[in-house]
A = this chain, B = another copy of it.
Amino acid sequence: MKNARIVKDGLYEQVARMGKAVSSPKRLELIELLCQGEKTVERLARESSISMKLASAHLRELREAHLVDTRRDGKNIHYRLADSRVADFWVMLHSLAEDRLAELQVALKQIAASPEELVPSDRESLMKSARKGEVVVLDVRPVEEYLSAHLPFARSIPLEELQGRIAELPLDRPIVAYCRGPYCLLAKDAVDLLRGQGYEALHLRDGVAEWGLVSV
């Protein structure tokens, strides 16, 4: 049956549409941003450092792969993940890449040296400490992202406001800062800032996507 070949080719071709959607670095960055919550094209473009035209083109690809949906609100178009499984997929993709690619492991060290990052196995104990108030879990992303989803017990102080609001934080307990995930530099900057001011600050690698908390 030559026909069987044609059927099979069609099936893999469809699955490959997903693969193609995640084969571009910029599209991955857009997906990670969308894991933090709904955003307009303009915001997505700005936060991923590309032009709006290019962002629009990439978002079109993602939409055609049905990985994202859009919603119009006045002049703006808001993009969001089509399904929370897309966030799970992003997490699996990047964690597989971190497992398999030595180059990526090396590059990640530039963001957070091993001793200062908490490993995933610390999750329960971190939450226990946070519940008891022994540590402060700090969300340094823009406030809209915090409102969309955040870690349990987390407090929101966006990095941009941190310098001005630093007095809100206690000096006698460790501050555990997190942001969008392992490739986001906000938490690193926050930790550097806090340490410079005498705080005991730690950098949590994972964000809401890695914790499985993304809401759509």
A54 within 8 A of B: no
Instruction: Return the chain B residue nearest A16 by Cβ.
Output: B25
Quick check: A89 and B85 within 8 Å, CB to CB?
Answer: no
Q: With A16-B25, A16-B28 as known contacts, state yes or no: A11 contacts B101, CB within 8 Å.
A: no
For residues 17 through 60 of chain A, which have their beta carbon under 8 Å from a beta carbon of chain B?
17-26, 28-29, 49
Instruction: Return the chain B residue nearest A4 by Cβ.
Output: B185
Q: With A23-B20, A99-B83 as known contacts, state yes or no: A107 contacts B15, CB within 8 Å.
A: no
Interface residues on chain A, size class: 35 or more
Q: With A18-B96, A96-B85 as known contacts, state yes or no: A101 contacts B25, CB within 8 Å.
A: no
A66 within 8 A of B: yes
Q: With A7-B107, A7-B110, A25-B9 as known contacts, state yes or no: A93 contacts B89, CB within 8 Å.
A: yes
Q: Which of A24, A25, A67 has the most CB of B within 10 A?
A: A25
Bound-state CA distance A67–B96 (Å) is 9
